[in-house]
Amino acid sequence: MVLNIAFGAVILLGNLSVFLSIATRPQLRQQPMNLFIASLAITDIIMAAVVAPSYSLFCVGCLEYAVSKYCWFMEGSKDIALASSIYNLLAISYDRALAVYRPLQYPALMTRRRALIIIVVVWSLSLFLALIRNFWNHTLTGEELLAINHKYNVILLVVVLLIPCIVISVVNIKIIRTIRKQAHQVYAQAADNTISADGQTEMVRKWKGTIACAVVVFVFVVSWVPRISFNIRSVITTDLSSDALLHKLSIFFFIVQSSVNPFIYSFYRADIRRATFKLLSCNKLRS
């Protein structure tokens, strides 16, 4: 309980700062990548507000509490947070792939309007997946409910977990390799004085932004290993009574992952870091 509440507070404060920093700065809102980062921050805020302090405490394990009767709502919020996290990272990976492999066409291919459309699709799909489970949670009971949840978990394992995680990992590995090749080329051009200082600065800025997103993706994939293991176990057998600890660990690692995202962005992204400091400074002066 202490760990979950502590991480929940860190997730809420950190991601709220990132979201407000982007939302209150017009220059940051104009960049499509920052819109995806803000969307991911909303996902982590849901994680902090519902999953960390409630679902992980009252709906995972062998004890029943008075609020456990509302676990259908908490589980729905958990499904939304998990699905939107993966799909937001897919969107971020797609955005970074365009920026790296088609830099000249990137402004025309990834406009602010297209980024918003992708975000709407991400959240619509996440809400749809959560509402499906909630529908039969209110209409079915007993063995019938367990059977359909088992089949649905198999679908989620493939559609929401395995395939997206594989795609995200492969894309980001290729992006990192391409960035390293481009870095060697820029260093060679800099040594020959064939590239300007402004050009070097702009490339470094783009690389740091891309690397920040890649680091978030890899931390996410590593944090998902316990969850994927638990879901594979749920496909193999319906008796998960011996896997209560694995279930708790899978949720806990996901909570930890959500808490480190703001620090990764603040470390690699100078624009978000400066905006966050300005936001916190203004709030401190007003208080």
Give residue 287's pLDDT: 43
Highest mean pLDDT pick, 108-112, 142-146, 179-183, 210-214: 108-112
Q: Could you read off the pLDDT of 25-65 as tens digits, one per residue?
A: 888 888 888 899 899 889 888 888 877 777 767 776 655 66
Domain count, the chain: 1
Mean of pLDDT values over 68-88: 81
Mean of pLDDT values over 166-183: 82
Q: Could you read off the pLDDT of 23-35 as tens digits, one per residue?
A: 888 888 888 888 9
Q: Above 90 in pLDDT, residue 123?
A: yes
Backbone dihedral angles phi then psi of residue 63, each to the nearest 5 degrees: -95, 145
CATH code, 126:
1.20.1070.10
Give residue 59's pLDDT: 72
Question: Among 154-168, 231-245, 256-270, whose mean pLDDT is lowest?
Answer: 231-245
For residue 27, the enclosing domain spans 2-286
Question: Among 162-166, 222-226, 242-246, whose mean pLDDT is lowest?
Answer: 242-246
Between residues 134 and 17, which one has the greater pLDDT? 17
Between residues 9 and 183, which one has the greater pLDDT? 9
Mean of pLDDT values over 155-167: 81
pLDDT band at 286 (very low <50, low <70, confident <90, very high): very low
